[in-house]
């Protein structure tokens, strides 16, 4: 049986199947919007960066887009889980706990996810905390995808650390943007970061797909550090 043909609009069928099989929280339609943004951003010839890897569900789509564009994905995560993924919270998965140390460790699951999809060579995994890594980074990026911690402290640090590195014409993508105050724990901090990006004058909204926002850098970088 012949393999399914690739279409310009979406990822490889086997990658999409791997995405749907992987642990994670991003729904298919938001994933396809992320993929479309990544395909466009890869055209700049610059790396794509993801903050918040978890088990690699969204990384697969970024990696497929990077492969098509001849660039790489850098994904940053300490792999100990964000606040809402800790024991006792709604998003906790006990299968992600390392029984030897008693703490979450999603790195092994992430590596298995990439391996199964055949995308390891297109991804550079950085194990560390986003603000620490950002302080060491000094190059432009075609895309920055903010999908890490959901507190104001973490979402703001991700924005301040990485948004200034989005190249002119590049894309800033923010996940879990929920304007309704009822979503204070899961989406208000990303929403406030999204508003800050628009108010900075540096970014213009490109698309909205439920909780996924895609913004393009159209202004001068730098003021977002203030």
What gap in Å lies between CA 14 and CA 7, rounded to an integer? 13
C-alpha to C-alpha distances, 84 to 65, 90, 110, nearest whole angstrom: 29, 7, 19
Q: What is the sign, positive or negative, of the torsion defined by CA atoms of 112, 113, 118, 123?
A: negative
What gap in Å lies between CA 130 and CA 157, rounded to an integer? 8
Catalytic residue among 150, 154, 165, 175: 150
Q: Which of 119, 37, 40, 39 is nearest to 75 (CA)?
A: 119
What gap in Å lies between CA 161 and CA 133, rounded to an integer? 9
Is 92 among the catalytic positions? no
Phi, psi torsion values for 31, nearest 5 degrees: -60, -40
What gap in Å lies between CA 33 and CA 188, rounded to an integer? 21
Catalytic residues: 150
């Amino acid at each position: 049986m012949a393999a399914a043909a690739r279409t310009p609009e979406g990822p490889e069928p086997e990658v999409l199947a791997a995405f749907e099989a992987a642990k994670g929280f991003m729904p298919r339609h938001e994933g396809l919007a992320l993929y479309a943004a990544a395909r466009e951003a890869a055209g700049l010839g610059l790396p794509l960066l993801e903050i918040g890897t978890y088990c690699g569900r969204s990384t697969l789509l970024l990696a497929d887009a990077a492969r098509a564009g001849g660039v790489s994905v850098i994904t940053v995560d300490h792999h100990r889980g964000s606040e809402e993924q800790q024991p006792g919270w709604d998003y906790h998965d006990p299968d992600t706990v390392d029984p030897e140390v008693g703490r979450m460790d999603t790195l092994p699951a992430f590596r298995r996810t990439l391996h199964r999809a055949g995308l390891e060579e297109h991804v550079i995994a950085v194990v560390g905390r986003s603000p620490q890594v950002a302080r060491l980074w000094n190059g432009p990026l075609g895309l920055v995808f903010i999908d890490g911690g959901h507190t104001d402290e973490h979402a703001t640090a991700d924005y301040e650390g990485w948004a200034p590195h989005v190249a002119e014409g590049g894309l800033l993508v923010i996940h879990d943007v929920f304007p309704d105050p009822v979503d204070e724990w899961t989406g208000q901090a990303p929403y406030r970061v999204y508003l800050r990006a628009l108010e900075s004058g540096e970014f213009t909204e490109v698309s909205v797909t439920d909780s996924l926002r895609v913004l393009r850098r159209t202004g001068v970088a730098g003021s977002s550090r203030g």
